Homo-oligomer: A and B are copies of this chain.
Amino acid sequence: MHTSLVAALDIGGTKIAGALVDGDGDLLLRAQRPTPAEGDAETVMGAVSAVLDDLAASPLWPGVVAVGIGSAGPVDRSAGTVSPVNVPGWRGFPLVERVSRAVGGLPVDLVGDGVAVTAAEHWRGAARGFGNALCMVVSTGVGGGLVLDGRLHTGPTGNAGHIGHISVDLDGDLCPCGARGCVERIASGPNIARRALEQGWTPGRDGDATAAAVAAAARAGDPVAIASFERAAQALAAGIAATATLADLDIAVIGGGVAGAGEVLFDPLRRSLRDYAALSFVRRLTIAPARMGTDAGLVGAAAAALLGRRPERTPA
């Protein structure tokens, strides 16, 4: 008997990655194309097809039993369509049907990228063994996903856990999504940098004005840089506490480029969490950095493909 493989696709605004993944979550073969983000629908689909063709050329391909897709959102899992914000040519694009046709009718599962990362952290990373988890990516945006009762919770549309766009400041600044005071509007990398600049922080001689540069300044003791990370941490803490209050969580796992700032973020985050995680059942929440790194999207897409094929329940 052959070990089952799945094909995984991780679709973002910059690249389209694919892999053949075994039942342990190991990546056996990888392929990648830049995302022709400004192209029309068929041009973008062409890049997906090229990645699939690379995978299908492998002698391993006959062992593939399903395809999992993690895509930049919004996605619609029930309709099988995607409308990634940064890929304007795809609006309600029937990705599941097109991929299914390209792979000869194999089952295809679709989730949002935050859900995929969560599946990966739960399968092989920092959320492994936890029954109820929030996994977040804090980067250019803020995304996330949920594990509930030991299982990945995709929600009917595949977008559950979208913590970046919950409002923690109902009178706050307008967010590009249309709401006010969203976690992402306060805590994303670009907003950390924007706030530091507005408050008088000046980049070094290299001109680097990213959140990573603000983090370096904070580590060097710059009070404006520190304050910008503290405000981001406060918004993340309020959002994480809200999620734990609603979902009754055991752990929150935080990854992404901004989380790479380390204690500059995690230290004020743990302090702020004590302010917002007030109820007894929420105070038990622990915080951990993500472990899966840049392969999380592919591993998670593979996990999503395997969802219906094995018991996903893990010990709580």
- Interface positions of A (Cβ within 8 A of B): 74, 76, 83, 131-132, 146, 148-149, 153-163, 165-171, 175, 177-181, 234-235, 238, 241-243, 245-248, 250, 275-282, 316
Contacts and interface: CB of A to CB of B under 8 A. Distances in A.
A248 B163 CA distance: 11
A290 to B, nearest CB: 19
A177 B242 contact: no
B245 A166 contact: yes
B165 A281 contact: no
Nearest to A157: B281
A246 B245 contact: no
Contact of A280 (B83, B149, B245): B83
A155 B132 contact: yes
Contact of A162 (B158, B170, B245): B245
A241 B177 contact: no
A6 to B, nearest CB: 22
B170 A247 contact: no
A132 B156 contact: yes
A250 B158 CA distance: 13
B246 A146 contact: yes
Contacts of A243: 246
A248 B74 contact: no
A153 B162 contact: no
A170 B276 contact: yes
B247 A247 contact: yes
B165 A168 contact: no
Contact of A247 (B158, B246, B279): B246
A227 to B, nearest CB: 14
A237 to B, nearest CB: 8
Contact of A165 (B153, B162, B175, B278): B278
B155 A248 contact: yes
B281 A159 contact: yes
A281 B74 contact: yes
Contacts of A76: 281
B132 A238 contact: no
Contacts of A316: 156
A178 B272 CA distance: 12
Considering residues A146, A175, A248, which has the most beta carbons from chain B within 10 angstroms of its beta carbon?
A: A248
A178 B278 contact: yes
B246 A276 contact: no
A161 B181 CA distance: 22
A278 B132 CA distance: 26
A123 B168 CA distance: 32
Contacts of A159: 248, 279, 281
